[in-house]
Amino acid sequence: MINYPNGKKYNNNHTNTSASNRGMALEDDINATNKYYLETDIANIHKKPTPIQIVHVDYPARNMAKITEAYFKVPSTTDYNGVYRGKAIDFEAKECASKTAFPLASIHPHQIKHLESVLKHGAIAFVIFRFTQYDKTYYISADKVCSYYETSKRKSIPYAWFEENGIIIEYNLVKPVDYLKIIDKLYF
Amino acid sequence: MINYPNGKKYNNNHTNTSASNRGMALEDDINATNKYYLETDIANIHKKPTPIQIVHVDYPARNMAKITEAYFKVPSTTDYNGVYRGKAIDFEAKECASKTAFPLASIHPHQIKHLESVLKHGAIAFVIFRFTQYDKTYYISADKVCSYYETSKRKSIPYAWFEENGIIIEYNLVKPVDYLKIIDKLYF
C-alpha cells in the first residue's frame, strides 16, 4: 500500500488552488505553456503521467476497463521532460505557499538524484519554483538546486537564495511560464 | 469514461505473456535494459507511467489515499524517453504475435504525430518491434515507421519490411534489448 507522497491529498482540480489572481496553479500554467510550444512547433515537452500502482481492474463491459483499486507511487523522476532544439529538457516544478523559505522535504531525494543524473548525461535540467504569496516564478538551474540540497544543513531554502540564484520567469498571456526564453539566453 | 486503448485488457503481470523461452515480455526486457543503463551511468531513459484519468479518491486514513475509480487514457506520446550523450531519446515499443505482419491499428495516430514532432525537434526517435513467434527484436528509425504509416494504403506492415528496414537487436543477458549499441553506430 503506497501513500501519496508526503501524505498530501490528491487534488484533481487545480483551478482554485493558486494564490494568483489569474486563478491558475503552476502546473496548469506550465501545461498551457507546453501546449503552446507544441502547437507552434517550438518544442515537444510534456508532463509525465502521475505514477500509479494499479491493484485491481474491473471489466464491466467488453471494451471497458475500470480501475477500482490503485495507489499513488512516489515519483522516481521529475515531472516534465522532452526535446528542444535537439537538446533533452528535464525539469521539476514546485509551488511554495511560504513567504520566507521553501521546505526541502518537498523535493524527493529520488528527484535530486534524477536531476544529477540527467545533468551528467547532457540534458538541460532545472527547477521552476513559484512563490504563490509573491506571485513570482523562478527558473533555477538544477546544478544549483542539487548543490544546495547536497551541501546545506538547513531544512529549507530561504527566499533570498531564490532572489540571488534564480531568474524570474515573466508572465505572458499565451506562454504563462515561458521558460524556453531563459534557456535560449543561457544555452543558445 | 475512457476505455483502455483498443479495448485491450490491462495485464499487470507481464511475466508469462511472452512467447520467448526467457519468459519476459518486451516491456520487462526494456525496463531491465534501462535500469542497467541508469545504474552503470550510461544513459537516463525511463518508461513513462501509464496515463490514467482519476475520478474518485478515498482517504481511509490521514496519510493514505486510495483511488477507487479511474480509467485508462489513450496515450498522447510514446512510452519511453530520456537522455543519452546529450541527445534526447524518444521511442515506442510494440510486440507482435503474428508471423506475417504488424497491424498498424496497434500504433495510435497520436504516437505517430508525436514521433514526427520529436524528430523535427532533433530527438533520436525510433520504434522497437518484437515478433514473439520468431523471438526477433527490431530497431526501426521513427522516420521509416512514420513514412510507412503516412503513405501506405495497407492496414499492416508485412514482416519482410522489418527484415529489410530494421536492425536486429541482439539479446544480451544484462542488457536484454541493447538499443543504445545501435544508436552508437547510427549517430555517434
Interface test with A, best of B121, B180, B183, B187 (most A CBs within 10 A): B121
Interchain CB distance below 8 Å, A44 and B121 = yes
Burial class (CB in 10 A: 0-12, 13-18, 19+), A149: middle
**How distant is the Cα of B160 from the closest Cα of chain A, in angstroms?**
32
**How distant is the Cα of B118 from the closest Cα of chain A, in angstroms?**
6
**Region B92-99: what's the mean pLDDT?**
96
Nearest CA in chain B to A46: B77
**How distant is the Cα of B9 from the closest Cα of chain A, in angstroms?**
7
**Amino acid at residue number B144:** K
Nearest CA in chain B to A125: B83
B58 — pLDDT class (breaks 50, 70, 90):
very high
A160 touches chain B (CB under 8 A): no
Residue A13 pLDDT exceeds 90: no
Range list of β-strands (E), B16-86: 44-47, 52-61, 64-72, 80-84
A113 touches chain B (CB under 8 A): no
What does the pLDDT look like over B26-57, one tens digit per residue? 999 999 999 999 999 999 999 999 999 999 99
Q: Give this complex's ipTM.
A: 0.85
Interchain CB distance below 8 Å, B7 and A38 = no
B19 touches chain A (CB under 8 A): no
pLDDT at residue number A151: 94
Query: 3-state DSSP call for residue B30?
Result: helix
pLDDT at residue number A62: 85
**Amino acid at residue number B80:** Y
Nearest by CB: A85 against B12, B118, B121: B121
Nearest CA in chain A to B77: A46
| Nearest in space to A177 (alpha carbons), one of A13, A75, A33, A12 | A33
Residue B4 pLDDT exceeds 60: no
A5 — pLDDT class (breaks 50, 70, 90):
low
What does the pLDDT look like over A24-65, one tens digit per residue? 699 999 999 999 999 999 999 999 999 999 999 999 988 899
Nearest CA in chain B to A117: B44
Q: Which residues does residue B40 pair with via DSSP β-bridges, in sequence order?
A: none
